[in-house]
Each structure stands twice: as C-alpha cells, then as structure tokens.
C-alpha cells in the first residue's frame, strides 16, 4: 500500500508512506462519509516506510508580492499528513522513518530504522487550537544516534515516552566534539523534558524546552583553556554551561556525578550532586551574586579538586540560606608538603579559572582548623584564596 503527497501553494510538506500491512478495526463509516473523519478503535501497521520533507524556506505565492512564510508548526504538518481522525490505539512495528527539514538554506535530517511504537487515544482535528492530542506515546529505538550541527554534537537514546506533556528519554547520551575529540559528555538512565519545542528541534537543531531534569547523570566537561575564549567563571556558571547546547528555562540535576576537567591538567569532581536553577536568568546575570541567586538548590556530598600532588576535598556542601555562598561540613587539603583540615566552612564563591588552570576560593570562613606544613613545602598551585576569616586555627611547621 502506498500514499503520496506533493508540495503545493498551500503546503510546504511532502510525504510518501509505504505499508506492508495496514489494518483498522471497528471503523465508523458514517463519519468517514459525512465529515471525512477516520474514527476507529485501533490501527495496526507493519513495516511502514515514512518519508517526510518540510521546507521552512518555501515562499507564499498566493499574493503578487512574495513573502516568506514563518516556521510551520509540527502539529499542523502532522495534521496535513494524517487528516482528521480519532483512534483509540495505534500500533506500529518495524518502521523506517526519514524526516528532512530546510530552514535558512540548511538541511537537517532525522532517521530511524526498524523501530516500533504505540499511541493511545490519538485525536487529530483540523480546526482546533491544538490540532493533535494524545494520551500516551511509547517508542523503542535500536542503536539510535543523531549527529547535529555539522557533526559538533551527537545525541543517542534507546526509548522515548510521552505522557501528560512530559517526555522521558531512557539511556540518554550526549557528546560535544571538537575536531573529533569529546570535550563534553552527558550520560544518564533517565532524562525528562517538559514543554519541548518540536519546531526548534526539527528546523534549528536546537533543544528548546521549558524545563529538563537529569536523573543520575554522569557528566564529563572539559573547560576551555584558551586565553581568548576562556575566562574565570563561578562554579554556578560552569554548572549552567553543562546544558549550553539546550535552550532551557529551568534545569534540574538529581544524584549527579559531575567531572569538570581543565585542559592542561587538574579536575574538579562533584559526587551525588543535586541542582535546580533558572537557566534563562544566567543570560542577564553579569555579577557572581546575581548568578548565585538564579540557583534554587545546590548540594553535593563531596567536591574534590586535584592537580598534580595536590588534593582538596569539600564534604557535605549545600547552598547557604540566603544564597550568599556555600556551606560545607569540612575541608581537607593535602599535598606539596601541606596537610590541613577545617570544619564548619563558609565559602563566598568558587571561581574556576580555565586560563590559569586554577580555582579561586573567595570569602572563606571556618570555626576550627589545623594546618601542618613541612619545612620544604612547595608553593601550592591550582588552589588560591582571595579572602579568609579564621577562628580557632592551629598550626605546626613540622610534617
């Protein structure tokens, strides 16, 4: 069985669909005849091949003066493809899907092979404000990976579930490449998205959504060490940059393991990290304090900075009550002939300076600390203190 539609003056969409088998049960022939609406209890389809072309640059020739048409809504495109219908259940097995979009002269492609999906309570109505509604969508993918933006980013996941305006992607993986080298990676068993803009994803290859939540993610991020591009950034800014390929209003991370690497050695690892921030607020936040106020929640069990022989640990860290800084139960520093520990720590800010490959800790206060330095202790590199206020500090110049 074969369906085909070509682009015309009233449509910028063309499609071709091939079926091995298409079966409908309990069809309402009266509605099909009177209103050209397909109503059925269920639809079963095997081995379909779907080809969809959407031209976002096509001009409207209905008037004498040519005028470019805006981006076509995805639900309007699907309505053109399917027509009006109400289906209780749709089951599709072993489908091949190819979608090509053109926007500003740039072509983007989405392809998947041998995948199956189910749709529950699908309704398509031409005159409704939202032409398409459904109760649930479940799709399993086999070895799916999509490369976008001229090979700069790669996204992979093995199943997608849509329900109550929430999209859940399982076994989600994201990589950012620079000259073939992975500079940023995200991997997580579950990735939840609300308010996804399908138009941005299809036409612009931009992941735009109201909010995204990472569950148990493994994050590996290399900071840019170029003096031209790199600049000192607060810890909050760096955590926000983890999602810079995505246009998000809100970002949440739960039980995350985050590794921030300096390009010339040194790293900061945050374990069991919980983060909730208003991502869009970072655009206008030009001061560290304004950036910190955009963070609703930040906590991690341990933050470990390493560079050479130097190891610095912050334990049981959380955002202070007024968001003025971070509080930690304890801090330990060892290496280069130095051994120190402190308790009940307050830190005004943590600046990651990728250009100098160091961390600047500002406004440090503690209640009790002990410092041991060997006579031949080296100058500590990689960890710098801008301001400190100590109480109950003891020292021993011996090792």
**Tokens 């994050």 -> residue:** 219
| pLDDT (0 to 100) of residue 92 | 94
Contacts of 155 (CB under 8 A, 6+ apart): 145, 146, 148, 172, 173, 174
**Tokens 């949440």 -> residue:** 252
DSSP code per residue over 145-193: EEEETTTTEEEE-SEEEEETTEEEEEEEEEEEEETTEEEEEEEEEEEEE
Average pLDDT of each block of 10 consecutive residues along the chain (399 residues)? 61 79 93 91 93 71 45 68 88 90 76 88 83 88 70 83 87 84 86 84 74 90 58 63 66 90 83 84 46 76 91 93 87 88 88 67 86 70 55 49
| pLDDT (0 to 100) of residue 321 | 82
| pLDDT (0 to 100) of residue 335 | 86
| pLDDT (0 to 100) of residue 341 | 93
For CA atoms 249, 252, 256, 258, give the dihedral sign. positive
d(CA 100, CA 206): 15
Confidence (pTM): 0.73
Does residue 379 come out as left (phi exceeding 0), alpha (psi in the -120 to 50 range) or beta? beta
Give me the torsion for CA of 117, 119, 123, 125, rounded to 10°: -20
| pLDDT (0 to 100) of residue 197 | 81
d(CA 103, CA 70): 10
| pLDDT (0 to 100) of residue 126 | 78
Contacts of 8 (CB under 8 A, 6+ apart): none
| pLDDT (0 to 100) of residue 115 | 85
d(CA 86, CA 189): 34
| pLDDT (0 to 100) of residue 262 | 79
| pLDDT (0 to 100) of residue 220 | 85
């Amino acid at each position: 069985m074969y369906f085909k539609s070509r682009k015309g003056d009233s449509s910028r969409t063309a499609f071709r669909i091939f079926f091995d088998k298409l079966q409908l049960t309990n069809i309402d022939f009266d509605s099909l005849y009177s209103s050209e609406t397909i109503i059925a209890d269920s639809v079963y389809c095997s081995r379909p091949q779907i080809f969809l072309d959407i031209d976002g640059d096509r001009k409207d020739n209905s008037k004498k003066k040519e005028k470019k048409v805006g981006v076509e809504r995805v639900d309007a495109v699907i309505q053109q493809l399917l027509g009006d219908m109400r289906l209780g259940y749709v089951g599709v097995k072993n489908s091949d899907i190819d979608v090509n979009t053109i926007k500003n002269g740039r072509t983007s492609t989405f392809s998947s092979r041998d995948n199956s999906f189910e749709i529950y309570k699908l309704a398509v109505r031409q005159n409704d404000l939202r032409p398409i509604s459904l109760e649930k969508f479940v799709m399993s993918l086999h070895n799916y990976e999509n490369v976008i933006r001229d090979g700069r980013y790669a996204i992979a996941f093995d199943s997608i579930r849509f329900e109550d305006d929430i999209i859940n992607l399982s076994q989600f993986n994201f990589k950012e490449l620079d000259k073939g080298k992975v500079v940023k990676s995200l991997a997580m068993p579950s990735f939840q998205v609300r308010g996804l803009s399908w138009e941005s994803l299809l036409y612009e290859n931009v992941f735009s959504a109201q909010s995204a939540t990472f569950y148990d993610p493994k994050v590996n991020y290399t900071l840019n060490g170029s003096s031209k591009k790199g600049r000192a950034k607060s810890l909050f800014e760096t955590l926000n940059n983890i999602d810079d390929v995505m246009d998000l209003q809100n970002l949440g991370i739960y039980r995350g393991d985050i590794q921030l690497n300096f390009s010339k050695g040194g790293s900061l690892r945050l374990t069991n990290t919980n983060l909730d921030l208003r991502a869009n607020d970072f655009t206008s936040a030009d001061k560290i304090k304004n950036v910190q106020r955009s963070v609703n929640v930040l906590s991690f069990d341990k933050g470990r900075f390493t560079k050479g022989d130097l190891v610095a640990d912050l334990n049981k860290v959380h955002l202070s009550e007024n968001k003025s800084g971070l509080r930690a139960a304890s801090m330990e520093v060892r290496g280069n002939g130095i051994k120190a520990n402190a308790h009940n720590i307050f830190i005004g800010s943590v600046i990651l300076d990728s250009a100098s490959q160091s961390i600047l800790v500002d406004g440090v206060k503690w209640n009790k600390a002990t410092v041991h330095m060997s006579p031949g202790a080296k100058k500590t590199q990689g960890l710098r203190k801008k301001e400190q206020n100590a109480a109950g500090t003891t020292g021993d110049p011996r090792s």
